[in-house]
Amino acid sequence: MNHLAASELILNKDNSIYHLNLKPEHLADTVILVGDQNRVDKITKHFDKVEVAVKKREFHTQTGIYKGKRISVISTGIGTDNIDIVLNELDALVNIDFETRDMKAEKTSLNIIRVGTSGSIQKDIPVDSIVVSEMAVGFDNLLHFYQSDEVQLQDFNEAIEAHLGTYERNSKPYVVPANASLVEQFMSEQVFAGFTGSNSGFYAPQGRVLRLPLRDDNMKDKLATFSFKGKKITNLEMETSAIFGLSAMLGHKALSLNAIIANRATGNFTKDGAQAVENTIKYALDRIVSA
């Protein structure tokens, strides 16, 4: 067997994993991922107790108990490049033996739930609502570095590429589904079912113009008018595609919920982002313990 070299599976002096700074015993099987470090406390303030609190760079982790369930909350920072780090290190914590540096024979499957913020691109999905993503389309290029074809919905890939007329030097969009059982657990009449676009930036990649012109002025409208097999792209953010894709490849279950703080179709921005996020956190925690 090939043991993973020190340069590939990187452990800190205390045997914690490189970026997350966590040891296997620090992690719960249910993991909430948030972009913003300050959101970790906003979630664990609802916990009965917090037993682990570890910080390194933008990766802040707290593990504790909520209504009898052990949950880890981890901030990822912004972007799918960070999701590459977080998902690989989460998987290593449960599925690689840090002593032997080999894969474990028996694999653990985590439940991974993103609680994020996002901008709606459909008029009828207003600010302060919650979108539960059934699917995601990645306009980043992360999944293309992995043997990921099997987890991608190729018919959607082709339909989106044809509709957008993606610039030939950009990476090709990839579409990946959320875990179906988590979608069922989190869906209700209080939320919108979504198809979430994950972009490689906040400004031009999401069709925002401050001072710099876009290569394609119509990109936001093209995203909003895409429709295939009854699905429209509902909202834009920056992590969900990679969370769904890497989780599916690694055998974990993933879902993403986003508080809608901007409506790009109407030009509205929430008047109380903190409350929108708090409502989404409460909804997510409630659904996690409802299983």
CA proximity to 121, closest of 34, 187, 206, 191: 206
Hey, CA dihedral for 284, 230, 226, 220, is it positive or negative? negative
User: At its nearest, how many Å lie between ligand R1P and the CB of residue 117?
Assistant: 4
* Cβ atoms of residues 161 and 173 within 8 Å: yes
User: At its nearest, how many Å lie between ligand URA and the CB of residue 240?
Assistant: 10
**Structure tokens of 123?**
């008029």
Residue 80 sits in the site that holds ligand URA (CB under 6 A): no
For ligand URA, which is the closer residue by CB, 98 or 202?
202
CA proximity to 235, closest of 224, 243, 246: 224
User: 22, 176, 233, 238: which one contacts ligand R1P (CB under 6 A)?
Assistant: 238
Residue 18 sits in the site that holds ligand R1P (CB under 6 A): no
Cα dihedral 84, 77, 226, 280 in deg (nearest 10): 120
CA distance 171 to 134: 23
* Cβ atoms of residues 179 and 187 within 8 Å: no
* Cβ atoms of residues 41 and 32 within 8 Å: no
Residue 85 sits in the site that holds ligand URA (CB under 6 A): no
Residue 246 sits in the site that holds ligand URA (CB under 6 A): no
Residue 255 binds which entry of ligand URA, ligand R1P, none, CB below 5-8 Å type-dependent: none
Residue 202 sits in the site that holds ligand R1P (CB under 6 A): yes
CA distance 90 to 108: 11
**Structure tokens of 189?**
């009449």
Residue 194 sits in the site that holds ligand R1P (CB under 6 A): no
192-198 and 174-177 beta bridge pairing? unpaired
User: 77, 119, 173, 194: which one contacts ligand URA (CB under 6 A)?
Assistant: 119
For ligand URA, which is the closer residue by CB, 60 or 220?
220
Q: Which stretch binds ligand URA (CB under 6 A): 7-15, 117-125, 153-161, 276-284?
A: 117-125
On the CB side of 201, how many CA atoms lie within 13 Å of its CA? 8
In the DSSP assignment, the letter for residue 163 is H
Question: Within 39-78, which residues bind ligand R1P (CB under 6 A)?
Answer: 78
Residue 206 sits in the site that holds ligand URA (CB under 6 A): yes
User: 89, 134, 140, 239: which one contacts ligand R1P (CB under 6 A)?
Assistant: 239
Residue 239 binds which entry of ligand R1P, ligand URA, none, CB below 5-8 Å type-dependent: ligand R1P
**N residues, the chain:** 291
User: At its nearest, how many Å lie between ligand URA and the CB of residue 58?
Assistant: 16
List interacting residues with ligand URA (CB under 6 A).
117-119, 202, 206, 236-238, 261-262
List interacting residues with ligand R1P (CB under 6 A).
34-36, 78, 116-117, 202, 237-239
